[in-house]
């Protein structure tokens, strides 16, 4: 049984209210935008995601990022998991990402996390994204018990939960 209904159609363009930004599914072709975004914020992102995902490694290469985005693109197409890039209006910069994944730990039917680049931390854009994501997930995704990692549950608490079997 899939973690999403067979007839679910994932959103392909999501405006971030009160900003010129939007979300769309990430693609391998986004590597030239993604790599500088991730590596420019690597230290902070490692503090957030490193203990759970071992990502992003300090030594991550451009090619490793490209292969990671190719994997994400294939997972999106297969509805296995979703990675949405946060982009400016012209799509000349990736400014963060939103991850929507099947549950790895018990107690939810979807696990959602997100980040912005260092330059947007504590900005109006980050606050707008923080408001948007839970609303968007509640309204547009078929979850009954979404879990917002690092938001409604700490990463440490999440890691202590039993894995989904």
- Which tens digits make up the pLDDT trace of 29-61? 999 999 999 999 999 999 999 999 999 999 999
Q: Which two tokens stand for residue 149?
A: 């990692």
* Residue 37 domain boundaries: 14-160
At 19 the pLDDT is 98
At 28 the pLDDT is 98
What is the chain's length? 165
Answer whether residue 9 is part of any domain.
no
84-129 pLDDT, tens per residue? 999 999 999 999 999 999 999 999 999 999 999 999 999 999 999 9
Count: domains in the chain: 1
CATH assignment of the domain containing 37: 3.40.630.30
Answer whether residue 58 is part of any domain.
yes
Answer whether residue 61 is part of any domain.
yes
Average pLDDT rounded to a whole number, residues 122-139: 98
At 151 the pLDDT is 95
Indicate whether 156 pLDDT > 70: yes
Closest CA to 117 of 63, 70, 69, 48: 48
Answer whether residue 152 is part of any domain.
yes
Indicate whether 1 pLDDT > 90: no
Answer whether residue 3 is part of any domain.
no
Answer whether residue 24 is part of any domain.
yes
Question: DSSP 3-state assignment of 141?
Answer: coil
More confident site: 2 or 155: 155
Answer whether residue 7 is part of any domain.
no
At 165 the pLDDT is 86
Cβ burial of 135 (10 Å; 0-12, 13-18, 19+) is: exposed
Answer whether residue 23 is part of any domain.
yes
E-assigned strands of the chain?
14-15, 22-25, 82-87, 94-101, 110-116, 146-148
Q: Provide, rounded to the nearest whole percent, the portion of the chain with pLDDT above 90.
A: 98
């Amino acid at each position: 049984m899939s973690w999403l209904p067979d007839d679910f159609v994932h959103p392909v363009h999501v405006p971030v209210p009160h900003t010129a930004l939007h979300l769309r599914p990430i693609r391998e072709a986004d590597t030239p935008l993604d790599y500088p975004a991730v590596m420019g914020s690597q230290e902070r992102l490692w503090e957030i995601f490193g203990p759970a995902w071992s990502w992003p490694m300090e030594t991550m290469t451009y090619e490793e990022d490209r292969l990671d985005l190719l994997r994400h693109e294939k997972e999106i197409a297969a509805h296995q998991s979703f990675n949405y890039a946060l982009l400016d209006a012209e799509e000349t910069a990736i400014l963060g990402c939103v991850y929507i994944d099947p549950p790895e730990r018990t107690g939810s039917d979807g696990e959602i996390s997100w980040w912005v680049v260092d330059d947007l931390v504590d900005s109006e854009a980050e606050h707008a994204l923080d408001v948007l994501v839970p609303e968007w997930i509640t309204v547009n995704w078929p979850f009954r018990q979404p879990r917002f990692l690092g938001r409604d549950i700490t990463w440490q608490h999440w890691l202590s939960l039993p894995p989904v079997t």
